[in-house]
A = this chain, B = another copy of it.
Amino acid sequence: MAIVVQKFGGSSVADASRMRRVAGRVAAEYDKGNQVTVIVSAMGDTTDDLIALAKQVTNSPSDREMDMFLSTGEQQSASLLAMTLGEMGYQAISLNGSQAGYHTDGRYAKAKILSIDSSRVKKELSDGKIVIITGFQGIDQNGDINTLGRGGSDTSAVAMAVALDADVCEIFTDVDGVYTADPRIVKTAQKMAEISYDEMLEMAAMGALVLQPRSVEMAKQYNIKLSVRSSFNLSEGTMVQEVAQMSKNMEQERIVCGVAHDTNVLKVTLFAVPDMPGIAGKIFVGLAKLGVNIDMIIQSGNRNDCQDLSFTCGRDDQQKVCAFVAGLVDQGLAEDSKIEDDIAKVSIVGAGMISNTGVAATMFAALAEIGCNIDMISTSEIKISCIIDEKRVKDAVLKLHSEFKLDA
């Protein structure tokens, strides 16, 4: 008997017929003799519809009330799925965040899970029931509902897998696994049978948004095997796990496992920032306070006692960043600034890079071969990212995918 946690996203449970398909999937797992716990998101566009309704009464809802309001979406889908399984003759019970024991830190709209008291879930499982749990939510020490923010349901699933010491956490989504590149761009992109946590983290952070990085981090920390697979077909999907657990062959031979790209990139350059201690700190503390998530940072080009400073972030933050940067120039902390939103990031990811030389050189040469100029470079032990012209993204992804023989 295995302990299995399955997570289904909103599109997988968007209406009654999809709900029935998911129920069939859950039932099949239960029929293997496994203990099955299911985490569900709100049905289809429910969350967006609720947000639109809230906008009709206020432009600035309190986060507490929005959490109270939005958490109903998952409670509806969880109880409906339990009813659907009941209709099929299975004993299923739905539990909301409070009942399932998710204790959160009280930060409305972006809470972190502090702990899970899984006693109720374990009791229901040992009674032979299929347990359906609302994703995306928990309660704080005051008994108030907190939602977990973007990607919350993936994190709910992994956290419950940790609490139950599950054998596997299956994340069902609308793609059937993690690919060596975006299949919409690279027709020959291959589905990976397995990928390490670190590689997945880099792929996810680079724009391959199959799994939220938060949930991958937690899975890595507690060594929970994640299976990413489609809710619309029965193909095997991609297993995200520790390098040590992966098949030897792959670990040895695969230097680069995938090519990722991200067009949600904004580049900001501050010209002639005074070269004094504390200036960079002041700038990035200010951006952090605004909640701007900084990706790459490059400092370059001494001009007298000044330096040019460039950084990238998501385009959603453009308004906030523009205002902040204008303020810096007003205060004399930079002579001038430039904002670019016609750029993109292309990255190669692979755990094998650590022990193989020349990977960066191969990447840069490949990009040069197609006449693609590199604007910024950032590296980690298992990935190399380049900022390039947004217009060249497709060419670059295709070239790198074939250069590193990922079509095979």
Contacts and interface: CB of A to CB of B under 8 A. Distances in A.
Interface in A53-98: 53-54, 56-62, 64-66, 68-69, 71-72, 75-76, 78-80, 82-84, 86-87, 93-94, 96, 98
A208 interface: no
Contacts of A110: none
A96 B84 contact: no
A54 B86 CA distance: 12
Contact of A79 (B59, B69, B76, B80): B69
A2 to B, nearest CB: 26
A19 interface: yes
Contact of A62 (B19, B54, B83, B143): B83
Contacts of A20: 57
A250 interface: no
A303 interface: no
B62 A50 contact: no
A86 B61 contact: yes
Nearest to A70: B79
Nearest to A77: B69
Most chain B beta carbons < 10 A, residue from A16, A20, A65, A80: A65
26 contacts: A16-B56, A53-B80, A54-B80, A57-B80, A57-B84, A58-B83, A58-B84, A58-B86, A61-B83, A62-B82, A65-B82, A65-B83, A65-B86, A65-B93, A68-B78, A68-B79, A68-B82, A68-B96, A69-B75, A69-B83, A71-B75, A72-B72, A98-B98, A98-B143, A99-B143, A120-B143
Given A62-B83, A72-B75, A99-B144, 10 more contacts: A50-B76, A53-B80, A61-B87, A64-B93, A65-B86, A65-B94, A66-B79, A68-B78, A68-B82, A69-B83
